[in-house]
Amino acid sequence: MRLNELKDNPGARKRRKRVGRGPGSGMGKTSGRGIKGAKARSGTAINGYEGGQMPIYRRLPKRGFDNSAFARRYVIINLGILEKFIERGRIDPAQPVTEEVLRASGAVGRVGDGVRLLAKGRLTRKLDIEVTGASRAAIAAVEALGGTVTLTGVPRAAE
């Protein structure tokens, strides 16, 4: 095969529709947009507009308290994921497993407000883990193997 013999797969490149190019094209004059109105104009965004009727997002009642601006966002790591990373040699079980170690190994991405350990999956070896938070089941699973879980986060009651 030579460079001059290279071809795209059939249908890989589709020509763009050229609108407003005369009545013979089938897309002339109004370019398939009909006549007048908001949809015929450029630059309109009419999501939620109901033609003068009260929109549904205004008709429905708003209830409750939304704390999303101040809510804490923890990165979750499961015991099973920890086990996989140890098997692959990305995490050393002899050393304490901290949030920095998890970040460096690629087990977690960006550490927002901290890392929370959950009990999904199985752990087969003793680990010393330092994380912001952990579920009771995860702590029990780690301690059953002789490991420790140190929580670095501020407890909810103390805030």
pLDDT tens sequence across 41-77 = 888 778 888 888 999 999 999 999 989 888 888 999 9
Give the strand pairing for 133-134 and 115-118. parallel
For the stretch 87-138, pLDDT in tens is: 999 998 899 999 999 999 999 988 888 899 999 999 999 999 999 999 999 9
Domains present along the chain, CATH in parentheses: 75-158 (3.100.10.10)
In this prediction the pTM is 0.59
DSSP class of residue 36 equals S
DSSP string, 37-78: SGGGSSS---TT--TTSPPHHHHSPP-S---TTT---PEEEE
Both tokens assigned to 114? 């901290």
